[in-house]
Amino acid sequence: MRIVIITILVLLVQEVTYGGWVITEKSNNGLGNTSIQTTFIQNNVIRYETPTSIVIINLNTKLITMVFSEYKVYWSGTSNELKLSTVSIYDMQFEKMLAGLPPREQKELDSVYNNLRQQMLDSADYVNDKNISIIKTDEVQKIYGYASQKYNILVDSVLIESIWHTSEVKPYDDISIGDMISFMQQVNQTPGKVSIAQTKEYLELLKTGMLLKSIEFSANSNKVETTVTNIREIDIVYDFFLPPANYAKVSLYDALYLMPEQDFNDADE
């Protein structure tokens, strides 16, 4: 009987599979500035973490949570609530900027801002595939042990980014890629980047593997290079995708304008 029990335990250990992934990326802008981001993925929930910020995206509940560890507070809401809160904050900043300006300048700036404001509120995602090309090259590079195919991304025939894709590892297999990109649009506010990410070719690359390296080019000849430095499959406890229980929930305005001496016990939820 003891031998049978031991045999069963061995089989159980051998059958253990991890449901989550942890991915670390390092970015360098060529000017000596380096940043690191770690992404945790499990059961359609994603946690993006940098030394100064934490963003949790739950694709099951459609909620975004921003954790401000320094002040032990967090904000949580839908992508639309994030958009409306962000626009409200911009409105307040704009009103302060207009104060003291001559009426003529106020009118000119007001017209410009209203156009920008409408764009921020517009929930439609306009993707013009016709001027975006993702071209496969002959270059294959070994990155973090995986064979990675190089692609060039052109907008209006201008090279704006090179990416290296591998199909040998697939951390996004059980993630809704379309939902993930849509949520990241709300968090990152990078319209050009999101438009590319929403093209059929780009989405297909994410569905069939992952990007291990990218180089973004800008008009001023600067470039930002991002490379995956770690990727492994692990089991992540559910609470890791929740804000700490002792953190207070606050409005986005309060979260972005925190001062050390402020008391957030009475902050708006």
CB distance 168 to 146 below 8 Å:
yes
CB contact at 8 A, 41 and 216: no
Secondary structure of residue 172 in the 3-state scheme: coil
Whether 195 and 177 have beta carbons less than 8 Å apart is answered as no
Longest dimension (CA), the chain: 91
CA distances (Å), origin 245, targets 29, 74, 240, 249: 37, 10, 11, 10
Residue 238 main-chain phi, psi, to 5 deg: -60, -40
Asked if 44 and 60 count as a contact pair (C-beta separation under 8 A), the reply is yes
- pLDDT score, position 167: 96
Per-residue pLDDT at 260 exceeds 60: no
What confidence score (pLDDT) does residue 269 get? 42
For residue range 237-250, list pLDDT tens digits in order: 999 999 999 999 99
For 211, the token pair is 């990007």
Kindly report which listed range (44-58, 131-145, 170-184) carries the lowest average pLDDT score: 170-184
pTM: 0.78
- At 249 the pLDDT is 95
CA of 116: how far to CAs of 94, 125, 204, 228, in Å? 12, 15, 31, 35
107 pLDDT above the threshold of 90: no
For domain 2-256, give the CATH superfamily: Lipoprotein localisation LolA/LolB/LppX (2.50.20.10)
**Cα separation of 185 and 179, whole Å?**
10
Per-residue pLDDT, averaged over 58-75, amounts to 92
In tens, the pLDDT along 166-196 reads 999 999 887 887 777 766 665 555 444 446 7
